[in-house]
Chains A and B, each alone.
Chain A
Amino acid sequence: ETGVTQSPTHLIKTRGQQVTLRCSSQSGHNTVSWYQQALGQGPQFIFQYYREEENGRGNFPPRFSGLQFPNYSSELNVNALELDDSALYLCASSLVGQARETQYFGPGTRLLVL
């Protein structure tokens, strides 16, 4: 186990609703990255948070937003859910500034949008 935890494990929402997913980073890590993984595909980078600010973003619309808290935990918020948002959402924590930084992933939250 990596020490990265995510909640909830599973979630069902309907189109148009909003959702908040949570991630607790591994002890000692200061950075959280979020990924979306559609069925049969590799994970796609959404964004990263470092020192409570967004530190890089992938090709996702603004309705995907996030927060990082002083304890380095993080939230992913998705507004106006669409059917295509159904996926496994992964967070990964890392220690920025360490040589050859490695990201460690949590177990994911599986979101189903109906």
Chain B
Amino acid sequence: DAKTTQPPSMDCAEGRAANLPCNHSTISGNEYVYWYRQIHSQGPQYIIHGLKNNETNEMASLIITEDRKSSTLILPHATLRDTAVYYCIVRPPNRDDKIIFGKGTRLHILP
């Protein structure tokens, strides 16, 4: 079973920051938080991952709370192309096999 809880859907206005929450209250100390997204009829796309510190790349920022029980993915300036299902995933280090996906959050970007 997935170790994360996400809202089933969210709306965000185009041009605004999209903030997607994720709860992972049972995360272990050495487990990473990963985010993927899946645009309709495509394969999942890796976005970002982190352990304790906040992370930023060209796609998004990841904010992890100090107790690591929750995190937020931030898309700073959402566009219509960001409409997708976003998956928050917890993975142990050095586990190179399966990714356990939940149902994710369906993000709708509104024009």
When A42-B2, A42-B104, A102-B49 are in contact, do A55 and B97 touch as well, CB less than 8 Å?
yes
The reply to whether A42 and B96 contact each other, CB–CB distance below 8 Å, is no
In chain B, positions 71-94 with a C-beta closer than 8 Å to chain A are 87, 93
Tell me how many residues of B have a C-beta within 8 Å of chain A.
21
Classify the interface of chain B: helix, strand, loop or mixed. loop
Among B49, B93, B96, contact of A31 (Cβ-Cβ < 8 Å): B96
Instruction: Give the complex CA separation of A12 and B97 in angstroms.
Output: 29
Task: Write the chain B residue with the least CB distance to A96.
Answer: B96
When A42-B2, A43-B101 are in contact, do A102 and B46 touch as well, CB less than 8 Å?
yes
Q: Does B43 touch A at the CB level, under 8 Å? A: yes
Instruction: Give the complex CA separation of A31 and B45 in angstroms.
Output: 17
Task: Write the chain B residue with the least CB distance to A97.
Answer: B96
Task: Write the chain A residue with the least CB distance to B50.
Answer: A100
Q: Distance (Å) between the CB of B37 and the closest chain A CB? A: 11
The reply to whether A94 and B43 contact each other, CB–CB distance below 8 Å, is no
Q: Which residues on the A side are within 8 Å of B41 (C-beta)?
A: 108
Interface size class of A (residues with CB under 8 A): 20 to 34
Q: Distance (Å) between the CB of B22 and the closest chain A CB? A: 13
The reply to whether A108 and B42 contact each other, CB–CB distance below 8 Å, is yes
The reply to whether B43 and A33 contact each other, CB–CB distance below 8 Å, is no
Task: Write the chain A residue with the least CB distance to B48.
Answer: A102
Using an 8 Å CB-CB cutoff, how does the interface string of B4-44 with A read, 1 for contact, 0 for none? 00000000000000000000000000001010000001111
Chain B residues with a Cβ under 8 A of chain A:
2, 32, 34, 41-46, 49, 87, 93, 96-104
